[in-house]
A and B are shown apart, each in its own frame.
Chain A
């Protein structure tokens, strides 16, 4: 019988090193290498060509549209996601299970179908499409359609991240708050949300990344009008198809940068909140 205390960290060094190396290796091959290839390819024709590619007016238009889509889709998802997760976690009501399944629907259907639904709903051959178009309301093949499709495909992220956190927190805190005389809003702002802060941030980060990078659904509703309905991912495909491979990769670095900024903001907000709470 060994007298050594056995803790998980006392695993043999070999095991620890192998596991660490494996994790880093997989990360390197799946994330590090592709990013390196993108950056190297983008800079293949020099920094000047890179700057020209990312300051091209069509690239700037695509970036603006992508930021607009994120600026609308993410707040909409925060509102609906928080409302849905709160209702599902804190209340029992008929159809609750059905609603949970419905929230996952955008994950279950192919993004191309998600886009096509909006074309069939608002397109020139649909029931209401011709009326909308005649009155100057352009939805498909216009930014509004791109935003709608993006909201649809990113919808589950916030709700799905929040739901387990709110369920884990249980209802006792809220019940205590109500007994102490807090109003519904006070309970929501001061008890419910603070408990789920981390999950909310994770959901927002995921929704942001997907909204900026969505290709399939957006491709169907976009119409691919350069300078008007081209988002960054669509613009990358166009450049690639025009044999401008380094230009395509240069624009891809903008998407990578957008993802890194999202992560950095999440990290900073998290750190700030942790310091505040301490």
Chain B
């Protein structure tokens, strides 16, 4: 019976590769870490650093080869900062974490994966480069947006991601809060009123910085995007300086995206030496130049001076000076039931907002 033979052939040809493929899948998962002349490490990073680390990884590979003769392959994973921290806690084998804010590395440390004193391991609180929050507006600035108070004028639509999920959005929220405090002699009731007004001008909350940029840039929604400075510079350079303009507000926050070695994982994989050098070398003049070319503010003063034209002077306050560090800021503003939950009302917005986990 030919049909039977045909069906049998179909099934056996389909099933035969199964064993082989399963073996292949298992072999592929057991990636060796430090064997002979080659080593692999995984850098788990946040959303906007894709271009930065693509450039830095090849620079570092050359440096490590010259130093040790070993070939290093750095794998990259990118996503929202808090989501990435969550993945590391759930078992993503990050040798190093380079995230958007200290609180997310604190979460990894709280899960017992790295030393809680991670911020003391490298210079500048383990922050090799910094950034700040600026405004991205449509070309020619048609709505005349120049500083924070302009954002709450009638008819202005503001795009910013969800502070519950996005590191960049939290920096933007804190920048707005700090500016309002400064304008009102430290009156936190006035700051709260300003933030409430500001988020009434936000029609939709994207979960991450890249999503918000795409909403503003590609979908053409909104008059102003509150963005990482590096993200705003990248968007204008990549997508045409004739389409967008960057507005520098009078004051903003010094955004510090920190780095840390994930102790538990490097000790198990035997990659501590290369992982530590990977982060230490970020402070070298060559690496600082890579950071500056990718629109991050270098911490090396010589490189900073060289690229001064690219980064306009902004009066910057810090998370420690205004908010007493990330733990206090997180508890007061972003935790469930915190100030953000109290002031943000999706119904007041002109269109339904996409918000995850902002129930009152």
CB-defined interface of A35-78 with B at 8 Å, one 1/0 digit per residue?
Answer: 00000000000000000000000000000000010011011101
Q: Is A124 an interface residue (CB 8 A)?
A: yes
Query: Looking across the interface, which residue of chain B has its beta carbon closest to that of A145?
Result: B29
Q: Within 8 Å CB of B79, what residues of A?
A: 224
Across the interface, A242 reaches (CB within 8 A) one of B24, B50, B75, B87, namely B50
- CB pair B18–A138 under 8 Å, yes or no, is no
Whether B4 is near chain A, meaning CB under 8 Å from some CB there, is yes
Number of B residues whose C-beta is below 8 Å from A?
Answer: 45
A243 & B238 in contact (Cβ 8 Å cutoff): yes
How many A-B pairs with Cβ below 8 Å?
A: 122
A72-B21, A72-B22, A75-B15 are contacts. A137–B78 as well, Cβ < 8 Å?
no
Least distance between A17 CB and chain B CB atoms (Å): 39
* Assembly CA distance A240 to B214 (angstroms): 9
Q: Which residue of the partner chain, among A75, A240, A273, contacts B14 with CB atoms under 8 Å?
A: A75
Q: Which of A79, A143, A194 contacts B7 (CB 8 A)?
A: A194
Q: Counting CB contacts under 8 A, is A277 at the interface?
A: yes
Evaluate contact between A193 and B4: CB separation under 8 angstroms.
Answer: yes
Q: Residue A277 contacts which of B3, B26, B42 (CB distance < 8 angstroms)?
A: B3
State in angstroms the CA–CA spacing of A77 and B91 once bound together: 28
Residues of chain B within 8 A of A190, CB atoms compared: 1, 4
**Is B10 located at the chain interface by the 8 A CB criterion?**
yes
Interface flag for B152 (CB, 8 Å): no
Considering residues B22, B211, B238, which has the most beta carbons from chain A within 10 angstroms of its beta carbon? B22
Q: Tell me the dominant secondary structure on chain B's binding face.
A: helix
Q: Which residues in A have their C-beta under 8 angstroms from that of B76?
A: 225-226
Q: In chain A, residues 167-192, which have Cβ atoms closer than 8 Å to a Cβ of chain B? A: 189-190
Interface membership of B51, Cβ < 8 A: yes
Inter-chain contact B3/A138, CB cutoff 8 Å: no
Chain B residues, CB < 8 A from A79: 15, 18
Q: A144 at interface (Cβ–Cβ under 8 A)?
A: yes
Interface residue from B14, B21, B31, B87 paired with A223 (Cβ < 8 Å): B87
> Closest A-chain residue to B17, C-beta based?
A71
The CA of A269 and the CA of B14, in the complex, are separated in Å by: 13
Counting CB contacts under 8 A, is A276 at the interface? Answer: yes
In the complex, B341 has a CB within 8 A of chain A = no
Q: Tell me, rounded to whole Å, the shortest Cβ–Cβ distance linking A138 to chain B.
A: 4
Residues 131-182 (chain A) with a chain B CB within 8 angstroms: 133-134, 136-144, 147
Give residues 229-260 of B contacting A (CB, 8 Å).
235, 238-239
- Shortest CB distance B181–A (Å): 34
Interface contact A226-B75, CB-CB below 8 Å: yes
A106 within 8 A of B: no
Q: A75 contacts B238, CB within 8 Å?
A: no
Interface 0/1 of A202-237, CB less than 8 Å to B = 001000000000000000000111111000000000
Q: In the complex, what's the smallest C-beta–C-beta distance from B189 to chain A, in angstroms?
A: 39
Question: Residue on B with the closest CB to A269?
Answer: B10
A125 touches B14 (CB 8 A): no
A228 to B6, CA, bound (A): 37
A139 to chain B: which residues have CB within 8 Å?
29
**From residue B146, how far is it (CB to closest CB) to chain A in Å?**
27
The interface residues of chain A lying within 8 Å CB-to-CB of B29 are 137-139, 142-144
Beta-carbon nearest neighbor of B40 in chain A: A228
Distance between Cα atoms of A200 and B89 in the complex (Å): 42
Residue interface bits A20-46, CB-to-B below 8 A is 1, else 0: 000000000000000000000000000
Given contacts A68-B25, A123-B91, A124-B90, contact A78 B15 (CB under 8 A): yes
Contact B15 A242, beta carbon cutoff 8 Å:
no
Q: Is the CB of A136 within 8 A of B30?
A: yes
Please name all residues of chain B whose beta carbon is closer than 8 Å to the beta carbon of A129 when the two chains form the complex: 91
14 CB contacts below 8 A, A to B, read A68-B24, A75-B21, A122-B91, A134-B268, A138-B91, A138-B93, A141-B87, A189-B4, A189-B8, A193-B4, A200-B10, A223-B92, A224-B78, A242-B51
B contacts, CB < 8 Å to A = 1-4, 6-8, 10-11, 14-15, 17-18, 21-22, 24-26, 28-31, 42, 47, 50-51, 75-79, 87, 89-93, 111, 210-211, 214, 235, 238-239, 268
